[in-house]
A and B are shown apart, each in its own frame.
Chain A
Amino acid sequence: MQSETRVAVSSAADIVTARQKGRALAMELGFDGSDLTLIATAISEVARNIVDHATEGVVRLAPTNHGSKHGIQIVAEDKGPGISDVTLAMQYGYSTRKGLGVGLPGAKWLMDEFDIDTRVGEGTKITMKKWLR
């Protein structure tokens, strides 16, 4: 099994790198056409969340399994300010800053699993998975 790919994210260019590496790994794992685009788009959104709110962080991409299911796992982690109200942040159309308020809830829709772990003053860790059909 391939090992984990790690992308340090602190600029707009890193967002592009993260989604390109994610697309490449997903392709290696057997995802096709529209799934590749959905995965790349979801990575773009969580990576941008790091740049916009925490300035820097890391996106980790890795294969994952659960029973007979195989897929890709994407972890976006930062040591930023954290999110004080996750329910609000995950509400479609809610935005603290310059965004559309679509990023995080949108990423959740694009993936099969989405989990957000955040502590104010400590940081945010988003884990999302997509399974091969």
Chain B
Amino acid sequence: MHVPILKQGDYLIASVQSVLSDADLVQLRDDLADRVGQFRSRGVIIDVTVLDVIDSFATRTLRAIAHMLKLRGAETVIVGIQPDVAFAMVQLGLTLEGVGTALDLEEGLAYLGRLAKRTLKHAK
């Protein structure tokens, strides 16, 4: 299913609404890469609260999205990974190394806000 992407100031919010097939994940990757350029976004939040499975392909794609968007100048934060899903990922030995994560949308926004502040400080 297509993932809607909302623009909120400097940020994009991709809110996953239902289970995603491999093809949907790849579509999300391409859509986000486009939108970040279109809206000159600084941060991207991917909300995966509804996902009941994050397997090796999903992990790899989320990681690829984050690294790709970083190269386009945007930080990515994945929010809403459920406890059972986190447990299965750990069992599988999957990590989201180098990718920001936060508990929920609110924490994700706060995470991006902190990153932006830090960048501003460095720039001064």
**A78-98 contact mask (Cβ, 8 Å, vs B): 1 or 0:** 000000000000001000000
Total A-B residue contacts, Cβ distance less than 8 Å = 72
A37 touching B94 by the CB < 8 A rule? Answer: no
A41 touching B21 by the CB < 8 A rule? Answer: no
Q: Number of B residues contacting the other chain (C-beta, 8 Å)?
A: 24
Which interface class (under 10, 10 to 19, 20 to 34, 35 or more) fits A?
20 to 34
> Interface of chain B, helix or strand or loop or mixed?
helix
C-alpha gap A36/B60 in the complex (Å): 22
Residues of B1-38 contacting chain A, CB below 8 A: 19-24
Q: Is A19 an interface residue (CB 8 A)?
A: yes
Q: Is B39 an interface residue (CB 8 A)?
A: no
A40 touching B52 by the CB < 8 A rule? Answer: yes
Q: Residue among B21, B55, B84, B92 with the most chain A CB within 10 A?
A: B55
**B38-50 contact mask (Cβ, 8 Å, vs A): 1 or 0:** 0000000000000
29 examples of A-B residue contacts, CB within 8 angstroms: A12-B21, A12-B24, A13-B21, A15-B21, A16-B19, A20-B19, A33-B84, A34-B88, A37-B82, A37-B84, A37-B87, A40-B52, A41-B53, A41-B55, A41-B92, A44-B53, A44-B55, A44-B57, A45-B56, A48-B55, A48-B56, A92-B93, A100-B60, A102-B93, A106-B92, A106-B93, A109-B91, A109-B92, A110-B92
